[in-house]
Amino acid sequence: MKDFRNDTFNPAGSSKGRRIAAIFLWVVISTLAVGTSATAKDVALNQDLSELVLLKSSRGKAVIRFGSGPLQMVSVGDYLGRHQAEIKEIEAGRMVLEESFTGADGNPNGAHIILKDGQKGGKRYLLHPQGAPLPATRPMAIIPPQREKQR
């Protein structure tokens, strides 16, 4: 009969086990490092947001690239690009930025930029904080004319 007490599983004993342990350790450390970051960081302050590519996003974190530059991991609250667009939301499959800038007329303006995974530049929705308000309208009901009944 074989004695199995000395045959213990040692994940660090084999090269495959060492690789698995190293990957696990790297994932734990990178998750803790990203999750405990209390300060927002500025990313690619000399780049234009039209060159931004959202490669992959998950809840609270995203991997981006400006043009053919290096991959960068960002989280909610970070600032991107030359106008320092703030990351407002990151969910699985999309990222929402809020950008403030000076318009061609010299007035302050803003935009929400929504990027989906794999998309370059994103979809831009302009905000007009200084615009004239829309005129008020009163709701009306139009009643069709009565038809006379035929006998």
- Which CATH number applies to 39-127? 2.30.30.830
Question: In angstroms, rounded to a whole number, what is the distance separating the alpha carbons of residues 122 and 113?
Answer: 6
Q: What is the pLDDT of residue 139?
A: 76
Indicate the length of the chain as a whole number. 151
Beta bridge partners of 78: none
Domain ranges of the chain: 39-127
DSSP class per residue in 128-145: -TTSPPPPP-----PPPP
- Say which amino acid occupies 147: R
Q: What is the pLDDT of residue 19?
A: 73
What is the overall mean pLDDT for the chain?
79
CB 60 within 8 A of CB 73: no
Q: What is the pLDDT of residue 129?
A: 65
Chain centroid to CA 46: 19
Q: What is the pLDDT of residues 102-115, one digit of tens each?
A: 878 887 888 999 99
Which of 54, 94, 98 is closest to 72 using CA atoms? 54
Identity of the highest mean pLDDT range in 26-35, 80-89, 141-150: 80-89
Whether residue 37 has pLDDT greater than 70: no
Q: What is the pLDDT of residues 38-94, one digit of tens each?
A: 567 888 788 888 999 999 998 889 999 998 889 999 999 999 988 899 999 999 999
Q: In what order do the strands lie in the sheet with 52-58?
A: 52-58, 61-66, 72-75
Identity of the highest mean pLDDT range in 89-98, 103-112, 122-131, 138-147: 89-98
| Residue 73 CB-density burial (10 A; 0-12 exposed, 13-18 middle, 19+ buried) | middle
- Say which amino acid occupies 64: I
pLDDT range class, residue 35, cuts 50, 70, 90? very low
CB 96 within 8 A of CB 87: yes
Whole-prediction pTM value?
A: 0.58
Q: What is the pLDDT of residue 90?
A: 93
